[in-house]
Amino acid sequence: MTRALLDRHRVLLFLIVAIAARAATFGDPIVHVDEDFYFAAAHAMWRGAIPYLDVWDRKPAGLFLLYMPPAALPFWWGIWAYQAMALAAVVATAAIVARFAARAGWAAGATLAGVAYILWIDIAQGAGGQSPIFYNLPMAAAALLIATNAARRWRRDAAAMLLVGVALTIKTSGVFEGAFFGLWIVARDWRAGEGAARVAARAAGLAALAFAPTAAIAAYYGAIGAIDAFLYANVRSILERHDDPPLERWGNLAQLVLYLAPLVAMGVASRGRAAGGDAVLRRFAVCWLAVALAGILLIGGWYEHYALPAMVPGAICAAGFLGARRRAALAILGVVALIGTGMTVAGRIAHGGPAQFAALAKAVGPGPGCLWVYSGDTKLYAIINRCRLSRYMFPSHLYRTREAGAVGVDQASEVRRILSLRPTTVVMRPPSIGERPEIRAIVSAAMARDYRLAHAMPLGKEVISVYELKTVRNAPPGHFPEGR
């Protein structure tokens, strides 16, 4: 099949590659703990829960709104629906990567750059519905609008910054790339001879558009008298969070370097390989990649999926090499495909698949009384529909060392409060890295005293313990999400 034919049908090619790369996750409800929580939180919102009040997290509210349509469906349909949304976002982002690369003068490698993006995200936990999978699409679209706006049309810049604003409601760390996009427009207008007053006015208008979606969400919380809860979750709690242990933190950073280094190396090798195109776009892509990498370093924490935003400009910058060294490029992409598929399949085996999750949900059962997932999968709340006793649905907020003093409540006090309400069923996974042993000891003592081990269910490589209260009572009043 010739390059011209592939280029002409590249979106179909991207769809085929994306389906093949992500097939192992389809229908699997437990691909990653983060998206499990997003889905469960959105499900709770349909029952009246309000983010930050009834379901606490520090993710921007737009992410939960994004998950609400699939969460409205029957559970298993909802899993397929959000995975289909993620698939569409990946394919659309790859198409923008290819278009950007072609306009930049790397047309020979544009299609391969789109394929590289699809394959590379699998190795950084991007095979499911992680937030950057959705965030990358509006950010990539904004970048293309800005970089190709040589005529300096206001509407294109405004549309781009509004897309940045949408991205910020999905992933807050996009502020680094968004700031770069805005500064690029300012510098471009200044170099074009615009007066200082006009440049400043345009910059202020564009900044307002970028913050408009977040401002609208903040206004809602202000209207219901909950602006303090919004600001704490979105700002102060981020500053209060502790670092992970040094060995874990630096090990995570080493992984990110390993994932991104080949893309950066191919980007460096792309210098001088452009065939025409727009040099401005090439400079934009290189600067964008540098800002994305700097943003990763500044955020800290450095979980694997933090690499995902940098893979968009990384794939674009690699296009010159991919087009000039096609045999090497195909070999590299083949290796990445094998690694990504292997990691995705291994993850499914490690976490357990749909059958094991369904068996666990059946063992937990529909009640009576409330469910507390002390540690384990939050999608249990969505599939079982039992009442909760705390706004802290994401388990590690109440037991992980890095979260101590950073979630708006003392962890031990909240755990004791939940246990005092005597949840009928408690789910516990084995101890995990970063878990505070003193918190587990509180729960373990309560389990030994007031509960019996009803089930020990396999879920991947772990055995999940399901405890039932020895004396079952009715659900206490004021339980979440119906009450606060």
pTM of this prediction? Answer: 0.93
Cα gap 175→161, rounded to integer Å? 11
* Residue 451: its H or E element: strand 451-459
Q: Which residues pair with 256 in a beta bridge?
A: none
| SS3 of residue 427 by DSSP | strand
* Residue 2: its H or E element: none
- What single-letter DSSP state applies at residue 400? B
Q: What is the pLDDT of residues 252-285, one digit of tens each?
A: 889 999 999 999 999 999 987 877 788 999 999 9
Average pLDDT taken over every residue of the chain:
93
Widest Cα–Cα separation across the chain: 78
Q: 400: closest CA among 209, 221, 244, 272?
A: 244
Cα of first residue to Cα of last residue in the chain, in angstroms, is 61
Q: What is the pLDDT of residues 134-192, one digit of tens each?
A: 999 999 999 999 999 999 999 999 999 999 999 999 999 899 999 999 999 999 999 99
User: What confidence tier does 471 reach under pLDDT thresholds 50, 70, 90?
Assistant: confident
Cα gap 364→118, rounded to integer Å? 37
Domain range summary for the chain, segments of one domain joined by +: 3-350, 354-469
- Phi, psi for residue 117 in degrees, rounded to 5: -60, -45
- What single-letter DSSP state applies at residue 1? -
Report yes or no: 285 and 313 within 8 Å, Cβ to Cβ: yes
Report yes or no: 156 and 146 within 8 Å, Cβ to Cβ: yes
Angle at 15 between CA 11 and CA 16, to 5 degrees: 120
Q: pLDDT at position 232, please?
A: 96
CB neighbours (10 Å) of residue 483?
11
- Distance, C-alpha 147 to centroid of its chain: 25
- Phi, psi for residue 452 in degrees, rounded to 5: -125, 145
Cα gap 115→90, rounded to integer Å? 10
Q: What is the pLDDT of residues 319-340, one digit of tens each?
A: 999 999 989 999 999 999 999 9
